[in-house]
Amino acid sequence: MQRRIHWLDDGDETLFPSPDQALTRPNGLVAIGGNLSERRLLAAYRRGIFPWFEEDQPVLWWSPDPRAILVPDAVHVGRSLRKRLRKAGFEVTLDTAFDDVITACAAPRGGETGTWITKDMHDAYCHLHDRGFAHSVEVWHHLRLVGGLYGVALGRAFFGESMFSRAPDASKVGLIHLAGQLSRWGFHVLDCQILSPHLAALGARECSRAQFLEGLDAALAYPDRQGHWRFDADFTPLPRRETPE
């Protein structure tokens, strides 16, 4: 039976169809339309739904099956990456340059000319950052921003949105730091949306949409860690054991 796509309007910004009603082709498309207001974005994330669309398209809302996740305390750090963490001279910060990070993530890559991080997306997530829901990780080398990532945190779930790298392994270094701090804070899951070799190398794996939503419900039972973040004073990103390359 062919499923019908849901169109959203600017009425009740908390209303979304169930992710179970998402299309299979394209995988995970839940709804079209609406806006990127704070209320709508947070309602979407709480339902395991995120926006992704290109210039000149309406807002497209997704909940793919399977879903890629990373358990914060199960990150894989091999020998070479562990060495880079120790000796590359990176400095990693939280929430010190959100606008710079999302702007870098929006830059075209690999010969591409467009970006899915439109001006409306940029402005919407900067607003979430100002409100203490969206966060950035910055990776610096000799005071130059060489990598980073950003996403949204609700309850004990972090929804990763995008990352960038201008130096070898810089984005991996940022993600390892974030996962380590999230583990300290008792976060259950770091949502990676779609699995890639880059993420799989760090221990990300796929689970069914149903499993993801069940885990998300448990993570959202906790209060939001709202506000601008900083690493704990005694934080160290390295797990006790290294994993095979």
Q: How much is the pLDDT for 124?
A: 98
147 DSSP assignment: E
Separation of alpha carbons 121 and 98, rounded Å: 13
Count of CB atoms situated within 10 Å of the CB of 110: 4
Q: How much is the pLDDT for 133?
A: 98
Q: What is the average pLDDT score of the chain? A: 93
The 3-state secondary structure of 80-101 reads HHHHHHHHCCEEEEECCCHHHH
Strand residue runs (E) in the chain: 6-8, 29-33, 50-51, 60-62, 67-70, 90-94, 134-141, 144-154, 157-165, 189-193, 205-207
Q: How much is the pLDDT for 32?
A: 96
Q: How much is the pLDDT for 45?
A: 98
* Domains of the chain, start order: 6-64 (3.30.70.3550), 68-219 (3.40.630.70)
